[in-house]
Structure 1
Amino acid sequence: MMIKRCSVILANQLAKSNSSSANLLKNIQPLSCNGIRWNSTLLIADHTEETLSPLTLKTITAAKQLGNPITCMVAGPKIGPAVDALKTVDGIEKILTIESDSLKGWLPEVMVNVVMEAHKKNNYSHILTGASSVGKNFLPRLAALLDVSLISEIIGIKSPDTFVRTIYAGNALMELKALDAIKLITVRGTAFDATPIGSADCPVEAFAAESATAPANVKWIKSELTKSERPELTAANRVIAGGRGMKSGENFKMLFDLADKLNAAVGASRAAVDAGFVPNDLQVGQTGKIVAPELYVAIGISGAIQHLAGMKDSKTIVAINKDPDAPIFQVADLGLVADLFQAVPEINEKIDKYISK
């Protein structure tokens, strides 16, 4: 199919030219075929055994901006639900599936072999995945094997070889031009909107990856997931976050009560996590989770640069702090200078009254 497209381009150039053979060959521009014939994107889907991750839909949005044909790879021990959701998304040319128990846990030692095998067969120019724990685990290993640079956590695409990412804890933007023939990229999902589920029926091809086995010295044991009725932190539309100002883990109960009323997730600053108030899976910031909800409420958080890097893309930021000079107020859309131990109970009380009406 790609060769036919290039043939059409070549035929059109021949038809339009009345020059001699020498000039004709000089006028033909091979690059007009390169973008169609050789440039292609492999996108490794992020998913669980039950569902496709919203991060994948955001990564697809980024991949579309490259302008290449997109092949999505879905790999894991149970991929049916993810494939069913992905095949309806518009703009995908093909889905490669690898279903194997050896992919349980998405170990980087296994994933890198599977992706490498697919790349050797199809020679992709761009390989993308979301900046999740899975993607950030195996893509650096793939970059080392291919001897190319990894382009991590991009937030914008200028062209197929020029990307935008943050540096200095999000205080500066870097425009990066990649010179490697193969671009390996992780995408920060908070910077892109999710591609909507459409009505397409993308073809699915089973990929028999002979290398989908773990090395003898590597074994997946188990994973322990924290189950909660609240939304997952990185996917929540509302986030209530507490900082060092909460003073103790027991005081976080106020935030959990507020989050339950608002159907929100609960987050925390690194200071609160380091103090042992809450577990580290709630940490928001440069060394924690990156979030961009519709509403972010920062309670007792001063607003260190590292924390701002993880939440400053939120649509509406509300800050509650008794220090009027706290840096968090510089990025907040709404600010309340007050003692949180008075303000939060009052907010909970007013919400209860509103709900009971």
Structure 2
Amino acid sequence: MSYVLHLWRHPVPVSSEDAQAMLRDLRQQLSFSPDAAAGQLLEAIASALPPDGEPDDYWTEIPEPDPFALVQSLSPSVAELEVVLPVIEKTAIALGWVVFDPQSGQVHTPSGQVIGPAGAGPAVADVPVSPDLDVSPSARSRWVQQSLEPLFAQRGWRKLRGETWFQKKLPVGEALVYSKMVRDTLHHGVWIRLAMPSHLQHALNMDGGPDFTVSLQHFAQTHRLPFTYLEPPPLFKQRAGGVTYELPMGSADSAATRRDELAALYDGPVLDWLDQLHTLQDLDRWANRVPDEECPFVGLRQRSAYRLLNHHPDLLVAAAVNAPDFEQRALERYALYEADAFGQGLLPPLRKLLAACGLHFAR
């Protein structure tokens, strides 16, 4: 009898069935460049196993990293499962890997959540539905926030007052969940404010930006989850707190539906992904290195939409990690703006940001 575990870094499944589908998809793909993370994972697992045993004791087949594979499959010895499984799970989670056990159907996510074969329902609060929920927009907004609070609290988020519902410090900065009730719609979005190295602190504006706007639509599509909003994100957002998605919420029933959609979206897909952002290199990868369809940020790949690019967080994070192609990317962005009458009006803030990154342009 053999036992097999499958590990990958992203995306993070929301159910056992989702993990099985992702495993099939990922096995058919290869990375275009070698990834050292697989080797680091296996080294960490080997170091964490009891030193009094030999590799042959712990493995049916001694694992070798495949730097081009998106899935690493491990075959622990059945006789040593009680020793090896906890080591694999703990080490993989600490390094931001998903662990899928097809024998039990369990999925261990990087946030520490364990999902069983039937999936795990979002940990929402059972907040009583008050009589004024149908007539008071602010009551609907408070009810949704209170319902979602346990889901965020169990992952280390703080509940805040006002238009910022939840906040969490990340290694790469600060994640914020913004919501504001405007008549019968809930304006809702998620931002990541960057934590920059000291030499780039002066590149940040007074609000802590430039910031990344997380595409909730991207995660909904990736994980095949319903997400209802009235219109695409507006093209112009000056600061964190600008409108991202307008969620229809004109009644108690629609508030319950939005609550359920947001809970499913945050409970796994979005919050687990945010917990995987350990370094600015991780942010640079998602902003600048993945294909367009995998980019989880609003607007970064819409090169003709100048308004969406006005704060240039992708360039700033590339500068922060000393990306070899930073200057090339900056020159291309500058040329894009310079060649268009509308874009020329946005050159001053771009020059200022690039100067803070050590790249100067003649006026």
**Fold shared per TM-score above 0.5:** no
- Which one has a bigger Cα radius of gyration? 1
More helix by share: 2
More strand by share: 1
TM range (shorter): under 0.3
Scaled by the length of structure 2, the TM-score of the pair is 0.25
